[in-house]
Every structure is written in structure tokens, then in C-alpha cells.
């Protein structure tokens, strides 16, 4: 079996898909994307395709090594995301070739279902109690919300009170039997995070996510020590070596993104590394159906898994929804807050290729917002 072609598709709302074809007619799909930099990742995929065409796609690990190490400059979000999507497609091909789901190739299932959560409130959170009620009605038992909108590195008392009040409103809706996670999005400074997070502890968040920017990973230990609230991070970490200092700092939850952190091949290794620190895996995934399918395959086979993000109804999905490019939507259902284990071969998702090609003809130019404070200075998004 040989790889004959690699195609990419820019599909709304903000995703990039790739299609890897073989001379035996088996096709694999992946989702290589950096949100807001899809065209840049597309160029990287095209370059990596030169290494793949003519190779045996079943040699997944060898090709991962080739893609990540065949050049002097390595890593970073763009290259790691390009590798991630292609790696997903290679695992998809291998599973389809052997007629088994990818989780079987990762050692077999360790659970029958994967608990999932959904987003509420948007980038500048509002009406969070109403949104939480809607997600509960949809069947979810957990949600995630931003701690704040644009905020200074040292927020004032009223802004801190707002963070606590929004979480309290959501907790009242959810009760004690459901969970809420709080995403700081790296918008707070270290001192501010140390001040705010202990005030959230009585409301028992499942975890607080990315309390500070990844460039301040060396300060995570100070934040962990400031309260008993579990700290999570990882959406902007792209390898085992990126995760090591965060795990050494004491994070409780590792959040690699299957479309950013080198794909299935690297995330399964990150999960094993996290296990040695008694940390749990909660893959980041505000993306499309292929990224979610890859995440679920890892979750089905990972002992130290906690919960899975999924993007149905997320505020970014304005021009398309998670399942618009999927032929069979039933496997993605979560009537009791969890997705049941799939047994379909490969990644287990049937992509509507006609819909994907039509969407690519329209394309997208999604970009993150540029925020500024009232004084005109730049604000972290």
C-alpha cells in the first residue's frame, strides 16, 4: 500500500481537513489546523506531503518520526498541528486496513463511554445561567465557561466579584451532581490568578484551565500551591517536552489538543507521561468532527482520562456546526452526557466528502478578535 495524494480543505467555520488517499482505495481523514492560521497550516501540510507520497501509510510511527524530525527546525504550533492532522489520517487508514477502530490499535478499550462537556457564555461571558440550563436540557452533565472577558493582568475587586458571581450562578443551575470548569484563557497575571482561584474553591469547579499564559509555565507551581482547586493546561503545549515542566509544577489535568499536539501518536505518549505524575487527561477540542473522533479514540483507550471537550453549540460555530460534514451523526450523541464507544474501523467517523468539497470552494478567513483595553493597550484574548 502506498500514499498517492494528500489534499486539504478549508471548511467553515474555522477548520482545515486533510484527505490522505492510497493506491488501494482506502482513504484517511485528519484535521490539521491552528485556529486563525488555517492557511499557514495548509502550507505546512503541503510541504509534509512531499515526504509522505509514495510511502506505506501503515508505518504510522516511522512516518511521524519522519514528519517531526526530517528538518533542522522542529515543533511549534504550525508544524505540530500539520503533523497532527496527517497523523490522524494515517491512524484512520491503518484502522480501516485492519478493520478495527483506532482504540483497538492503542491497546484496546478501557471504558465503554466517554463523558463530554460543552461551552457556555462566549468569549465575554454573559447569560451563563440560562446557557447552562440549555446544556443540561441537551443531556450534558458538565459545562465550561470563560472566567472573564477582556480583563487586566491585575483585575480590580469588582472584576473578581464578577468572576465569582458568574460561577455561582452556573453552580446554582447545575446543582451538586453536575460539573463546571472555568477557563482563564491566560488572561490573568500570576498574582491575579493566585488571588482569584481560591475564591472559586467553595463553588467546587471541576478545574480551572490555563490560569496564565504558557510562557509563564515556570510559575504554575505557585498557582497550584495557592489553592486546592485542580489546575489544568495544555492547549498551547505541543509535545511531551512542553508538558513536562507543567506536570512537574503539579497540574492535575493535562489538556493536549489532538489537532495541535502531534496527533494521536504524541497525545497517547503525553497521556502516559501525565499518568506518572498522577495527572488526568482531558483533551482540548473546540474544533470539528475529525479532531473529536481522534480525541475519542484516545479517550477510549486511556486509563487516566477525565473528560472530553466537544464543540456543539460553541460560540465560534456561526457558519457551520460540528456535524455538518458527517454522514452518520448518531455516534456523536450524548443523551446522558457521554458518548458510547464506537466499533467502526479507523477513526469511526464517516465524512461527507461532497459537503467538504463544496465548503472548501467557499472557504473561510476566520480570525480571532483583537482586543484592547479602554486605555488603548493590547488585551489578551
Query: If we measure between CA atoms, which residue out of 270, 248, 274, 250 comes closest to residue 261?
Result: 270
- Angle formed by the axes of helices 38-52 and 60-69, nearest 10°: 120
Contact 12, 357 (CB under 8 A): no
β-bridge pairing 208-209 and 179-183: parallel
List for the chain the helix, strand, coil content (%; round to 5): 40, 15, 40
Cis bond upstream, residue 13 (ω within 30): yes
> Quick one: which H or E segment has residue 180?
strand 179-183
State how far the Cα of 264 lies from the Cα of 256, in Å rounded to an integer: 10
How many Cα atoms within 13 Å fall on the side-chain side of residue 347? 30
> Out of 284, 315, 364, 373, which one is annotated catalytic?
284
Question: CA quadruple 21, 25, 31, 37: dihedral positive or negative?
Answer: positive
> Out of 103, 185, 260, 364, which one is annotated catalytic?
185
Give backbone dihedrals phi and psi of 106, rounded to 5 degrees, phi first: -90, 10
- Beta-bridge mates of residue 135: none
Q: How many residues does the chain have?
A: 381
Q: What is the number of other CB atoms lying within 10 angstroms of the CB of residue 76?
A: 12
| Annotation says 284 is catalytic | yes
Catalytic residues: 185, 284
Amino acid at each position: 500500500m502506498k500514499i498517492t495524494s494528500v489534499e486539504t480543505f478549508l471548511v467553515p467555520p474555522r477548520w482545515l481537513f486533510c484527505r490522505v488517499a492510497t493506491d488501494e482505495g482506502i482513504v484517511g481523514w485528519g484535521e490539521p489546523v491552528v485556529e486563525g492560521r488555517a492557511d499557514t497550516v495548509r502550507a505546512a501540510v503541503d510541504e509534509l506531503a512531499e515526504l509522505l507520497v509514495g510511502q506505506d501509510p501503515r508505518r504510522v510511527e516511522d512516518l511521524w518520526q519522519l514528519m517531526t524530525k526530517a528538518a533542522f527546525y522542529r515543533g511549534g504550533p504550525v508544524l505540530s498541528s500539520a503533523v497532527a492532522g496527517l497523523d490522524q489520517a494515517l491512524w484512520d487508514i491503518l484502522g480501516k486496513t485492519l478493520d478495527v477502530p483506532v482504540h483497538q490499535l492503542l491497546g484496546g478499550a478501557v471504558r465503554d463511554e466517554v463523558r463530554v462537556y460543552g461551552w457556555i457564555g462566549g468569549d465575554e461571558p454573559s447569560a451563563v445561567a440560562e446557557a447552562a440550563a440549555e446544556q443540561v436540557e441537551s443531556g450534558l452533565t458538565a459545562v465550561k465557561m470563560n472566567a472573564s472577558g477582556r480583563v487586566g493582568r491585575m483585575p480590580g475587586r469588582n472584576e473578581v466579584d464578577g468572576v465569582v458571581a458568574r460561577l455561582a450562578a452556573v453552580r446554582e443551575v447545575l446543582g451538586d451532581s453536575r460539573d463546571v470548569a472555568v477557563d482563564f484563557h491566560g488572561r490573568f497575571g500570576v498574582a491575579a490568578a493566585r488571588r482569584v482561584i481560591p475564591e472559586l474553591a467553595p463553588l467546587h469547579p471541576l478545574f480551572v484551565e490555563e490560569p496564565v499564559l504558557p510562557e509563564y509555565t515556570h510559575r504554575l507551581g505557585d498557582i497550584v500551591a495557592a489553592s486546592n482547586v485542580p489546575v489544568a493546561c495544555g492547549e498551547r503545549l505541543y509535545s511531551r517536552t512542553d508538558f513536562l515542566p507543567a506536570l512537574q509544577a503539579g497540574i492535575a489535568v493535562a489538556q493536549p489538543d489532538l489537532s495541535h499536539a502531534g496527533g494521536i501518536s504524541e497525545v497517547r505518549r503525553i497521556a502516559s507521561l501525565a499518568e506518572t505524575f498522577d495527572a488526568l487527561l482531558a483533551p482540548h477540542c473546540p474544533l470539528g468532527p475529525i479532531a473529536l473522533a481522534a480525541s475519542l479514540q484516545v479517550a477510549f483507550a486511556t486509563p487516566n482520562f477525565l473528560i472530553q471537550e466537544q464543540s456543539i453549540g460553541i460560540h465560534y460555530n456561526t457558519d457551520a456546526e460540528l456535524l455538518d460534514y458527517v454522514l452518520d451523526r448518531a455516534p456523536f450523541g450524548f443523551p446522558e452526557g457521554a458518548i458510547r464507544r464506537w466499533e467502526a474501523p479507523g477513526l469511526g467517523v464517516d465524512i461527507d466528502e461532497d459537503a467538504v468539497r463544496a465548503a472548501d470552494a467557499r472557504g473561510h478567513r476566520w480570525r480571532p478578535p483583537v482586543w484592547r483595553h479602554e486605555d488603548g493597550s493590547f488585551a489578551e484574548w
